[in-house]
Amino acid sequence: MAEAPILVLGATGGQGGAVADALLARGARVRAMVRRPAEPKARRLAERGIEVLAGSLGDRSALGAAMRGVLGVFALTTPFEAGVNAEVAQGRAIVAAAVDGQVPHLVFSSVAGANQHTGVPHFDSKAVIEAELASTALSYTITAPTYFFDNALGGMDRIQAGILDLPLPPNRPLQQLARQDLGAFVAKVLRDPRPYVRQRIELASDAVTPAQMAEELSAAMGRPLHHEQTPLESISSPDMHAMWRFLNGPGYRVDIPALHSANPDVAWTSFADWAQHTFGSGSLATQ
């Protein structure tokens, strides 16, 4: 009898895509719920043998159908389309559907620092979802990623012009995570949840300063690049302003050596290796 599938929400995005990749690499059956199955990204999932179902993160009925008969679920929520209230509603729908369906194990992707009462809107919304999840009898794990390496790609034009814009002092370390490391860790948990039941685990691959980031990007690209500190007052989004104020203050608190020591089977990509892979000779970012 074939093994039950694992449901991945957000499989056409960065986090869900990394989890789906890692699960497929481990021989798992993968099911994905996407809003638009006919779009190219969703069709590519199907071409790789992933079962693709239609539905949205806030649709409890569609979530319930997608969760039927699964071995586990990877779930995430987003405030960046309709705001933090919509994100909380997504989380509540996901948790409710998982409870209804008696899902064997749920991995929820939150954010590092969400338990620090930061005042960052999209951290606090995830804290609400974490609390709702903890109030159930579900078997779950909360993974809490730090800043993703790939976030640098949002400033690609400036990077190509030789400038790394970050609202941090040049010598301030920023804990960061490679998406493939998140995927590997989540896949490990979903394949054997027992050591991680009802745990909250913050994830980081490396901690580098903006000056070090600029140096590694320069080395990867083969041309000079320097960091420019973006003034906090120039950030117009209240949410992003609050996040960067937090990162300039208490910041993330991942015990990186302990995390890596406890999980030696995850590659834990360095920023230098990510930069070489992303910007080195022959990479898409240099073409």
The domain spans of the chain are 6-151+177-207+253-268
- pLDDT the model gives residue 1: 57
- pLDDT the model gives residue 286: 47
Quick one: CA torsion of 4, 6, 9, 14, rounded to 10 degrees?
A: -140
DSSP 167: S
Q: How far apart are CA 175 and CA 205, in angstroms?
A: 7
Instruction: Judge: domain 6-151+177-207+253-268, CATH 3.40.50.300.
Output: no
Q: Is 224:218 a contact under the CB 8 Å cutoff?
A: yes
**Residues near 101 by beta carbon (within 8 Å), at least 6 away in sequence:** 64, 67, 68, 70
Per-residue tens of pLDDT for the chain, all 287 residues = 579 999 999 999 999 999 999 999 999 999 999 999 999 999 999 999 999 999 999 999 999 999 999 999 999 999 888 899 999 999 999 999 999 999 999 999 999 999 999 999 999 999 999 999 999 999 999 999 999 999 989 889 999 999 999 999 999 999 999 999 999 999 999 999 999 999 999 999 999 999 999 999 999 999 999 999 999 999 999 999 999 999 999 999 999 999 999 999 999 999 999 999 999 865 545 44
What's at 201, amino acid-wise? I
- Sign of the dihedral through C-alpha 166, 176, 250, 257: negative
Q: How far apart are CA 233 and CA 237, in angstroms?
A: 10
